[in-house]
Amino acid sequence: MPFIETGIEGLKIFEPRVFNDERGYFFESYNYDVFRSAGINNIFVQDNQSRSTRGVLRGLHYQVGEYAQAKLVRCIEGEVLDVAVDIREGSPTYGQHYSCILSADNKRQLFIPRGFAHGFIVLSEVAEFFYKCDNFYSKAHEGSIIYNDPTFAIDWGMTEAEYILSEKDKIHPTFGAHRRFY
């Protein structure tokens, strides 16, 4: 199976089989049947893509209620450190995070089930980040947790002086301040 377990239920790394030759490479980035055989039955309805420069940190974001989203994320140019935080109340890994490098070179993807906060930081000079969502975005249902919450102690792989954050991402509440997640 092209899936790697992360130790957090439902959170899986997909490592596609890449066919290289003198012309370049080919790989199947998504196949519903392959994902379904790994227990991932989500139907993706929206694709998003961003381009960012080194040090841009986006996150930690999530959607609640009927607009909760599962995501299949990958980096199609450059390299990012991707982070998912389990915010499923009652989960044995509630409040735990998982991080991994996603890059154009390793072609890995991370499947993030509903009930996770998500963010990433760009480690290369530039990165293009692509993700599929199984639900539509709703501003009224968005939530966020501050990127440097001491509860998680996330090592973003850079010094805080190198981070480039939106004004919005600088002022998110802490994990402990939330009353309702997923």
The bridge status of strand 57-63 relative to strand 116-122 is antiparallel
Query: What phi-psi label fits residue 23: left (phi over 0), alpha (psi between -120 and 50 degrees) or beta?
Result: alpha
* Local structure of 33: helix, strand or coil: helix
3-state secondary structure string across 62-74: EECHHHCCCEEEE
Q: Assess whether 94 carries a catalytic annotation.
A: no
Among 149, 145, 154, smallest CA distance to 178 is for 145
What is the C-alpha separation between 61 and 45, in angstroms, rounded?
18
Report residue 50 as tokens: 């961003």
The active-site residue, picked from 131, 147, 172, 182, is 131
Q: Assess whether 137 carries a catalytic annotation.
A: no
Catalytic positions are 61, 131
